[in-house]
Amino acid sequence: MISKATIDNVFETARVEEVIGDFVQLKRSGSNLKGLSPFTDERSPSFMVSPVKQIWKDFSSGKGGNVVAFLMEHEHFTYPEAIKYLAKKYGIEVEETQQSEEQKEQANERESMFLVSEFANEFFQKRMHTTDEGQAIGLSYFKERGFTPETIKKFDLGYSPDDWEVFTKAALEAGYKLEFLEKTGLTIVKENKRFDRFKGRVMFPIHSMSGRVLGFGGRILSNNKKAAKYLNSPESDIYHKSKVLYGIYYAKQAIAKEDNCYLVEGYTDVIQFHQSGIENTVSSSGTALTPEQIRLINRLTKNITVLFDGDAAGTRASLRGIDLILEQGMNVKVCPFPEGEDPDSFARSNSEEELREFLQENSYDFITYKASLLMDEAKNDPVKKAGLIRDMVQSISKIPDNIQREVYLQECSRIMDINEDVLYATLAQIENKGAKSTAAPKKRNMEVVKEAEAPRTKVDQLYELERKIISLLVLYGKEVGEFHDILLKQNEHGEMVYESEVQEARVFEKIFLDLQEDEIEFTNKDFRELFLLLVEKLNSEDDFGVETIINDLEKSQAVKLTDILMEEEQYELHDWERHDIPVKKKEQGISQYVTQTILSLRRYLVGRKINELVEEIKNVDSDENRTEMIQEIMSYTNLNTILSDRLGRVM
């Protein structure tokens, strides 16, 4: 187990904005940062990070918490995995207490598979660098590809010996179970036989966005025609090829910084580009591009440039993935390489400056490139040209933004020399799933559609008031304020009048004493527990801080507290002030805000008590009891009037 000293050191050192910035493209929004949710498929940012409070909140999924909570949610880490990841990132030595055999056996299956994969990664690297076979075959292959020792080390490239079970034996001898060797696909088990899947191949480990080894790609170097040239790890609990991009771990920061992602086809394309200085490059690892892979890029940038091999087959294959990218609302450019070249070979034979210049001058908007390409193929064949025009409109129909779609239709009309009306009619047919239009082809007019009125959600007033009090305790509990209490007193003439009395107190003391005076107890269990914990810490700790509170809470309570703390940040997402809708900040009058909240809670509870008594009196038979209840109702009604009057004066 990880020592408490290490955990405390990690929390003190780690910065939530730095860690999340490795996974999500964040932009400044006042004192906070915002970006697209990494948990949902959205196009407007609803993800907020507070560097001051060291917490994050995703308003689209409801998730939130501290830096460890983010890693557990996003990377599916266990708590110890998240701590170790942060320790590695910030160069903190991890001190561990001795684990019992029982604790070792309780390690979950996913972690066991990760550990096996890490062992394999180290094994393949060691075999390539320290054995004659590895150096002669594996290392020499990578050097022939032009990879430097630094690049080979950066990408953890290795070699699997040309032996049926040398890796499997080494893993078993090191204490790893055959069960997990088989589940990761590193070892193939058939009846009583077992053998290494990647026998005699150079190895490309595939990392998650956080850097953990998920699986491997292996390239055979012999001329065995029966064996596949490239072999990937099979699907497993930790490796899903449709959700992974090769190189994303090394490219994520460059993608966010450059605000563009170069998408290539193979492992060596990625590695060669990185070595050339173009680090915002990833690959779909030879598989067809998937929506999950596109969304992975979408977290970091809205711009993708697809790089095509310089052959017709490669170009057509890459074009098929563009429609998927368009569906995600992303901006797509394409860059074809000269015939006979691919990203790997071109980068190898050109300097970084020449490569950057080529990419800049030969990256075309997808519609311009695809239209020109297809029209060259159609030449003077009217039937083929008609089919290609429909193909173009099919791609445009995938674009979710109406304005962008219209601009592309106009550009398509210009390039293909065809009437815009025909393209609009074709688009309408495609959108209606091929239904024939009976009306004459014409441009679709923009229509103003009245939005259906959203159903009104009933607000739980008590819940919101209790929530506000928790928020006040956390954000302003230690602050000292002057509280103007309005008291009902008898003057010298014997008349009952309101008098203002000023008291100086810390916010948490004022809240606690007022609620104790009225014997108010929170109705929400989580809020009740949070209230008692916060008051205790505010009363006993001089260095009270939000981040320390969250670290001590259960997950459900931590999420609820994060939700409360990020409430005002949600206003920033809507940018209401830009639309001349002012949102009052609590800091503008904290004493007034505290008093207003407490009075509102008291008035609500009194009102609820009155309603309860009114219902009870209906079932009372005794006149004496009825009279007592009426007097009680009148007393509460009088108190409600006083509270309403006081609340009106405070507001």
**Looking at residue 378, which CATH number applies to its domain?**
1.20.50
- Are 158 and 84 contained in the same domain? no
Using the predicted structure, report yes or no on whether residue 451 has a pLDDT greater than 60.
no
**Backbone dihedral angles phi then psi of residue 333, each to the nearest 5 degrees:** -125, 160
Alpha carbon 278 to its chain's center:
25
> Are the C-beta atoms of 370 and 392 separated by less than 8 Å?
yes
Residue 129 has pLDDT above 90, yes or no: yes
Together in a domain, 502 and 610: yes
Neighbours of 553 (CB within 10 A): 19
Model confidence at 46, in pLDDT bands (50, 70, 90)?
A: confident
Q: For the ranges 318-322, 333-337, 438-442, 450-454, which has the lowest average pLDDT?
A: 438-442
Nearest to 264 by CA among 291, 236, 293: 293
Query: Do 193 and 144 share a structural domain?
Result: yes
Element containing residue 269 per DSSP (H, E) = helix 267-275
Instruction: Label residue 494 left, alpha or beta by phi (over 0 means left) and psi (-120 to 50 means alpha).
Output: left
Q: What backbone torsions phi and psi does residue 205 show, to the nearest 5 degrees?
A: -70, 140
In a domain, 245, yes or no: no
439 burial (CB, 10 Å; 0-12 / 13-18 / 19+) is: exposed
| E strand residue ranges, 8-163 | 27-29, 32-35, 47-50, 55-58, 64-65, 158-160
pLDDT of residue 63: 83
More confident residue, 553 or 359: 359
The yes-or-no verdict on residue 270 having pLDDT over 60 is yes
Domain end (from 102, 121, 154): 102
Q: Are residues 86 and 208 in the same domain?
A: no
Please check whether residue 561 is in contact with residue 474, taking contact to mean a CB–CB distance below 8 angstroms. Answer: yes
**Same domain, yes or no: 484 and 615:** yes
Q: Find the CATH number of the domain harbouring 91.
A: 3.90.580.10
- pLDDT higher than 50, residue 400: yes
What per-residue confidence (pLDDT) applies to 491?
64
Strand pairing report for 331-336 and 303-308 = parallel
Residue 126 sits in the same domain as residue 76: no
Domain boundary among 213, 239, 265: 239
Whole-angstrom distance, CA of residue 199 vs CA of residue 572? 55
What is the dihedral angle through the alpha carbons of 477, 478, 482, 484, rounded to the nearest 10 degrees? 20
Listed residues 431, 452, 472: the one ending a domain: 431
pLDDT tier for residue 318 given thresholds of 50, 70 and 90: low
Structural domains of the chain, count: 4
Does 424 reside within a domain? yes
Look at residue 511 and tell me if it is in a domain. Answer: yes
Find, among 293, 319, 297, 200, the residue nearest to 252 by Cα: 297
What pLDDT digit, counting tens, does each position of 98-114 carry? 655 665 555 578 889 99
Question: Residue 373 — very low, low, confident or very high, per pLDDT cuts 50/70/90?
Answer: confident
Q: Taking the CB of residue 263, how many other CB atoms lie within 10 A of it?
A: 26
> Are 96 and 153 in the same domain?
no
Closest CA to 461 of 521, 515, 510, 523: 523
Q: Answer yes or no: are the C-beta atoms of 340 and 265 closer than 8 Å.
A: no
Helix or strand run (H / E) with residue 196: strand 193-196
The encoded tokens of residue 616 equal 């009870």
pLDDT confidence of 440, banded at 50, 70, 90? very low
Q: Is residue 251 part of a domain?
A: no
**Distance, CA of 331 to CA of 298 (rounded, Å):** 10
Same domain, 592 and 634: yes
Half-sphere exposure of 422 (CA within 13 A, CB side): 11
244 within domain boundaries: no
The model's pLDDT over 240-267, given as tens digits with 9 standing for 90+, comes to 998 899 999 999 888 888 889 999 989 9
Of 252-266, 353-367, 514-528, the one with minimum mean pLDDT is 514-528
Can you give the pLDDT at residue 472?
Answer: 85
Q: Is residue 396 one of the residues assigned to a domain?
A: yes
Q: What is the DSSP string of 619-632?
A: T---HHHHHHHHHH
Q: pLDDT tens digits, residue range 458-516?
A: 567 888 888 888 888 888 888 888 776 655 556 666 665 556 667 777 888 788 777 76
Position with higher pLDDT, 539 vs 392: 392
Rounded-to-integer distance, Cα 595 and Cα 514, Å? 9
Report how far residue 595's alpha carbon sits from residue 600's, in angstroms, rounded to the nearest whole number. 8
Q: Does residue 114 lie in a domain region?
A: yes
For the cut 50, the answer to whether the pLDDT of residue 94 exceeds it is yes
Whether 444 has a pLDDT exceeding 60, the answer reads: no
pLDDT of res. 161? 96
**Mean pLDDT along residues 116-139:** 96
Residue 140's pLDDT is what?
96
What domain range is 374 assigned to? 367-431
The pTM assigned to this predicted structure is 0.64
Which residues contact residue 231 at a Cβ distance below 8 angstroms, ignoring those fewer than 6 apart? Answer: 197, 198, 201, 217, 218, 219, 220
- Would 443 be classed as within a structural domain? no
Where residue 436 falls among pLDDT bands split at 50, 70, 90? Answer: very low
Residues 573 and 426 in one domain: no
| Distance between CA atoms of residues 156 and 436, nearest Å | 56
Residues 415, 529 share a domain: no
- Statement to judge: residues 55 and 122 lie in one domain: no
CA-nearest of 547, 584, 551 to 565 is: 547
| Judgement on whether residues 419 and 379 belong to the same structural domain of the protein | yes
Could you tell me if 254 and 276 are in contact, meaning their C-beta atoms sit under 8 angstroms apart?
no
Contacts of 382 (CB under 8 A, 6+ apart): none
Q: How confident is the model at residue 645 (pLDDT cuts 50, 70, 90)?
A: confident
In whole angstroms, give the CA distance from residue 86 to residue 64: 18
Which pair of structure tokens corresponds to residue 635? 């007393």
The span from the first CA to the last CA of the chain, in angstroms, equals 53
Instruction: Yes or no: say if 368 and 332 are a contact pair by the CB < 8 Å rule.
Output: no
